[in-house]
Structure 1
Amino acid sequence: MNVNLGEYYEMKLRRLIVKGIAANKTEVLRMAVTAYERQIEEEEERLVVAKAAEEEARWKNRGRKSISFDELLRRNGIDKGKL
């Protein structure tokens, strides 16, 4: 794969290699993609929890009985195993 990142990002890559964080550009990019993927997964988890909390608040505001977290996930089509 040939990627043109531009001088700004090339400089950042070189800096990370000089610091010894990675051995080469490929390693830096792999680390960056892995870190970004982890960040996205964490954000998705936060959104799931926020949605569940909003749903619980709506139920309480309507005077309805509280439900379990598992029931809340089920109603919203969320697989608990993916949290």
Structure 2
Amino acid sequence: MNNEKESLAERFLQYFQVELVTSAEDKRAVFEVRYRVYCEEFRYESGENFPDKAETDEYDERSLHCLIRHKSSGRAAGCVR
């Protein structure tokens, strides 16, 4: 089982990189990913509440954000905080 977990992590890291968000540009990318997931894909929140297509909340200013980026395309693929 341990080898299976390592293999999964290794495969993930072949295609994606995890970055600590330090710039306003990357923070915007995080909020845009959240908008696509929460408002468009799962419809947890109304997109009308976020006319700039960037989902934010009261916790963002004091949170650390990580961006998951697809290595070959450079596109934001996910995020965590």
Question: Could you state the TM-score of these two structures normalised by the residue count of structure 2?
Answer: 0.28
Question: Could you state the TM-score of these two structures normalised by the residue count of structure 1?
Answer: 0.28
Identify, as 1 or 2, the structure richer in helix: 1
Higher gyration radius (CA): 1
Higher relative contact order structure (alpha carbons within 8 Å, sequence separation ≥ 6): 2
